[in-house]
Amino acid sequence: MSATRIYIARDSAARSVNADAVAKAIEQQARARGQIVEIVRTGSHGLLWLEPLVEVAGPQGRTAYGPVRVGDVVGLFEAGFLHGAPHDLSLGPVEEIDFFKRQHRFTFARVGVVDPLSLDDYRAHGGWQGLERARTIGPQAVVDEIANSGLRGRGGAGFPAHIKWSAVQEAQSERKYVVCNADEGDSGTFADRMLMEGDPFLLIEGMAICAYAVGSDRGVVYIRSEYPDAIATMGAAVKSARAAGIFGGAFDIEIRIGAGAYICGEETALLESIEGRRGQVRAKPPLPVQSGLFGRPTLVHNVLTLAAAPFILTQGGPAYAAQGMGRSRGTMPIQLAGNIKRAGLFEAPFGLTLRELVYDVGGGTASGRPVGAVQVGGPLGAYFPDSLLDVAFDYESLAQAGGLLGHGGIVVFDDSVDMSAQARFAFSFCAIESCGKCTPCRIGSTRGMETLDKIATGVEPEKNKALLKDLMNVMADGSLCALGGLTHLPVSSAMKHFPQEFEPGNRST
């Protein structure tokens, strides 16, 4: 009798809702019943509301069940799930689930499918082909492919990637660095984490392609300490890639661990942190591409930017650019988070509207109440009311609507949300996470909180609203980076779209 293969995610989100215990219970039940199963732990497909999701391999492919609780396991065996039999938790094949079917998985193609740390799996699913092609066509042609793809930085600013690649390629230095920004501090975002836990070799391949193109022999992945699983998986993957000779002695990668500072996601603060200093933002110029880590030409990219490179090199820049809208080319791993029914990772070409994402894809709120507000792009992103969700999800459309795309996180709140408290939190977060270099950011954020409190309690509300406006202008103009410079966005969007919530006495907390 051959073993039945069962796939269960080892992604930390799946584990956070008991995937390990479910895997163990299945193993025990199988043993007790004399049935042979082989459990493969994969990344998560991103249908996170269905985790723990269990897939059983059969002659027709994989059949999914979820969300599975430990208490469901005996019932699944009795129903015959090892043969794909129907059960209350049956979901059919993952590829047929609407949430999955609507996606274009360029970057996340392997996540949820393969064993993340199996080099054999990686190669069998098209791994290393981008790197091999890069080495065949040469550095300049690699940068041309990136240019043709239209790829823009996925870390927040959306700057065209190839311009930075060219700059580092042209820089003269005996040492150049490729630094992967895996600090992913924005609330509502987890795509970097899922990629590192679910397909770490893809990021390694992306970094190796980039290093080859720009002439770098050292790469650093800076991962936030809040991600212990991603740190472990990336560490193990780098070790086995190195041992397998993937880098050919020409490149190597170190994993660096952050220490709980949101500002270290800002690229120059991140470089300071690697150098062993306080994570304070550097004045620009010089840009990191000229003088970055240890004063060397340095290419800093987000995880998703680097992880897009293997697809672009394998399929060609135009294949990537064929998707998307306007100047936002390719796909974005969108993260649906917070109070939303179908929460998870949804990779799609730019251009869907927020309404489609929140309602058609996400199914509205998890609580079943009306949508109250939607924050897009992390803690520095704008709040949108339900009436303004027809804006398209791409860099330019969101900017035009007074928001930003950021790292692609969408956080849904139901109508119990208190927008005055959310605005206050934006200032409070800025105060907690400020690197302290600019006075408007360091001090202004606390003043902002106090002023909002006065407005909420009815102390000269009109005068204080005017004061707040001035304060936000000073912060926007007098801040070195986007933390102080954009904190006004969640605040002013909340005040603009939800004015009634800033009337005295309306704050619930």
Partner 1 sequence: MNASAFDALEVESIAAAEIARALDFYGPDGRGAAPLLPILHALQHAFGYIDDEALPILARMLNISQAELRGVVSFYHDFRRAPAGRHRLKICRAEACQSLGCEALVAYLAQAFHLAPGQTTPDGALTLESVYCLGDCALGPAALIDDELIGRLDKERIDALMSEVRK
Ligand X SMILES: Cc1cc2nc3c(=O)[nH]c(=O)nc-3n(C[C@H](O)[C@H](O)[C@H](O)COP(=O)(O)O)c2cc1C
**How far, in Å, CA of 25 to CA of 19, rounded?**
10
- The DSSP line for 28-84 is HHHHHTT--EEEEEE---S-GGGPSPEEEEETTEEEEE-SPPGGGHHHHHHHTGGGT
Smallest gap from residue 238 Cβ to partner 1 (A): 12
Nearer to ligand SF4, 233 or 280 (CB): 280
479 binds, among ligand X, partner 1, ligand SF4, none (CB under 5 to 8 A by kind): ligand SF4
Q: Cβ contacts of residue 97 below 8 Å, gap of 6+?
A: 47, 64, 91
Burial 259-298 (b: 16+ CB within 10 A, else e): eebbbbbbbbbbbbbbeeeebbbbeeeebbbbbbbeebbb
Smallest gap from residue 5 Cβ to partner 1 (A): 26
Q: Per CB under 6 A, does 486 bind ligand SF4?
A: no
Among 8, 223, 476, 481, binds ligand SF4 (CB under 6 A): 481
Smallest gap from residue 421 Cβ to ligand SF4 (A): 22
- Site residues (CB under 6 A) for ligand X, limited to 296-315: 300-302, 305
Q: Per CB under 6 A, does 155 bind ligand X?
A: yes
- Site residues (CB under 8 A) for partner 1, limited to 108-147: none
Q: Per CB under 6 A, does 166 bind ligand X?
A: no
Ramachandran class of 8: left when φ > 0, alpha when ψ lies in -120 to 50, beta otherwise? beta
- Residue 481's identity, in one-letter code, is C
Smallest gap from residue 363 Cβ to partner 1 (A): 13
Q: Per CB under 8 A, does 326 bind partner 1?
A: no
Smallest gap from residue 64 Cβ to partner 1 (A): 17
**Cβ proximity of 172 and 93 under 8 Å:** no
Among 128, 484, 493, 498, binds ligand SF4 (CB under 6 A): 484
Residue 276 has phi, psi (to 5 degrees) of 90, 25
Q: Per CB under 6 A, does 216 bind ligand SF4?
A: no
Neighbouring C-beta atoms of residue 379, cutoff 10 Å: 23
Q: Per CB under 6 A, does 379 bind ligand X?
A: no
- Site residues (CB under 6 A) for ligand X, limited to 173-202: 181, 183-185
Q: Per CB under 6 A, does 442 bind ligand SF4?
A: yes
Q: Per CB under 8 A, does 261 bind partner 1?
A: yes
Which of 445, 422, 436 has the alpha carbon at shortest distance from 497? 422
**How far, in Å, CA of 334 to CA of 346, rounded?**
5
In total, the chain counts a number of residues equal to 509
* Residues contributing to the site for ligand SF4 (CB under 6 A): 263, 281, 434-438, 441-442, 479-481, 483-485
* Residues contributing to the site for ligand X (CB under 6 A): 153-157, 159, 181, 183-185, 263, 265-267, 300-302, 305, 481-483
